[in-house]
């Protein structure tokens, strides 16, 4: 049953991620990105990392995507500003190479030479993905990167406010 859920979440993540790139309308891309984030949260649940799944939904699918959609709506791009829909050599080459890569990966994963070892939940470090382990790592080993990211987000918010204020 777990493999079936993983397959569903994995396929959903790949399809919605592809739609993020393929979609011409930025709003449709943002909605597809929310679908990708939700699919990844489902995979986190299957890995018994429930805290990471909740953070994925709250922070990325919630707060960050609201910010993205706000910026897209602030830009207010019309259909004629998106440009003409063109199919060129580079796009065709990208599709062909993407399909070739997918074929190679599928053949490797389904071949008999790849041996999948199953890991039981008891072999995973106790509490992996839990609040305590994430908090300890975040505020000990990764404290400096955490603070740098918080300052970067603060600068981005101030910059967005300044850009929005200039337009009005």
**Predicted confidence (pLDDT) at residue 82 exceeds the cutoff of 80:** no
Which pLDDT value is given to residue 8?
Answer: 94
For residue 47, name the pLDDT band (cuts at 50, 70, 90): confident
CATH class of 2-129: mainly alpha
Phi, then psi, of 147 in degrees rounded to 5 = -70, -35
Q: Which residue has the tokens 């930025």?
A: 26
Average pLDDT over residues 85-110: 82
Q: Please state, in angstroms and rounded to a whole number, the distance separating the CA atoms of residues 164 and 166.
A: 6
What is the value of pTM for the model shown?
0.61
Which pLDDT value is given to residue 68?
Answer: 81
Q: Domain residues of the chain, as ranges? A: 2-129, 130-168
Q: Please state, in angstroms and rounded to a whole number, the distance separating the CA atoms of residues 33 and 39.
A: 10
Closest of 59, 88, 73 to residue 164, by C-alpha: 73
**Predicted confidence (pLDDT) at residue 38 exceeds the cutoff of 60:** yes
**Predicted confidence (pLDDT) at residue 109 exceeds the cutoff of 90:** no
Which pLDDT value is given to residue 127?
Answer: 61
Q: Please state, in angstroms and rounded to a whole number, the distance separating the CA atoms of residues 31 and 133.
A: 31
Q: Please state, in angstroms and rounded to a whole number, the distance separating the CA atoms of residues 2 and 5.
A: 5
């Amino acid at each position: 049953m777990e493999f079936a859920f993983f397959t569903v979440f994995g396929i959903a993540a790949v399809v919605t991620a592809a739609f993020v790139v393929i979609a011409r309308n930025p709003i449709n891309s943002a909605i597809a990105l929310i679908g990708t984030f939700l699919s990844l949260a489902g995979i986190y649940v299957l890995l018994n990392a429930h805290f990471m799944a909740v953070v994925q939904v709250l922070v990325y699918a919630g707060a960050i995507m609201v910010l993205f959609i706000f910026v897209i709506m602030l830009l207010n791009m019309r259909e004629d500003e998106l440009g003409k829909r063109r199919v060129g050599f580079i796009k065709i080459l990208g599709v062909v190479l993407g399909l070739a890569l997918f074929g190679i990966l599928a053949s490797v994963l389904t071949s008999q030479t790849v041996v999948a070892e199953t890991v039981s939940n008891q072999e995973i470090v106790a509490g992996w993905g839990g609040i305590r382990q994430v908090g300890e790592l975040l505020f000990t080993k990764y404290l400096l990167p955490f603070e740098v990211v918080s300052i970067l987000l603060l600068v981005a918010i101030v910059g967005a406010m300044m850009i929005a204020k200039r337009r009005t």
